[in-house]
A = this chain, B = another copy of it.
Amino acid sequence: MSDKNTCTTGTLLNCCLYFTANTLARIMGRFADDCFRDTGLSPSHAFTLMLVNEQPEISQKELGEALHLAPSTMTRFVDKLIAKGLVQRETSGKLARVRPTERGKQLAKPIAESWKALYYKYSDILGEEEGQELTRIIDTANRKLEG
């Protein structure tokens, strides 16, 4: 008769995908914050810069699509990266294209390393195979849910 099996709402919450997904996201958020701390960027900003480094002149719309983030969020992200001197925004017509500065390019390697550290951090706990499997399953669900 473990506590785990009594049917209180407390445990019922764990049967709710909204709830478990949010919990996982917050846990991973803490992990990622730790790993990316020495890049001086939050994980999302680091990912943004990573995409910009990889595809210079990418538009903000494209960034938003790649990151599944709202347009206004991309504006704030790019604003912040500009403030840190890591990218430039070049508005050509109605598009805003984003390009890395030299300092931005130099961050490519530290970001890649932080990202790898994050991968190992959760893989060490979940097991590498299981971690990948979990990621794959969630990704598949995301595609379905996004319609």
For A33, the closest partner residue in chain B by CB is B18
Q: Chain B residue with minimal CB distance to A145?
A: B27
Chain B positions within 8 Å of A18 at CB level: 28-29, 31-32, 43, 118, 122
Q: Assign chain A's interface to a size class.
A: 35 or more
9 contacts between A and B (CB under 8 A): A8-B54, A17-B122, A17-B134, A17-B135, A20-B139, A22-B29, A24-B25, A125-B145, A126-B144
Q: Are B134 and A141 in contact (CB under 8 A)?
A: yes
A20 to B15, CA, bound (A): 19
CB-based nearest B residue for A127: B144
A: residues with CB less than 8 A from B are 8-10, 13-29, 31-32, 43, 47, 50-51, 54-55, 66-68, 115, 118-119, 122, 125-126, 130-132, 134-135, 137-139, 141-142, 144-147
Are A138 and B24 neighbours in the complex by a CB distance under 8 Å? yes
Top 7 A-B pairs ranked by shortest CB distance? A25-B25, A20-B138, A18-B28, A10-B66, A18-B32, A17-B135, A21-B24
Known: A15-B135, A132-B15, A137-B137. A20 touches B54 (CB 8 A): no
> Contacts of A137 on B, CB cut-off 8 Å?
134, 137
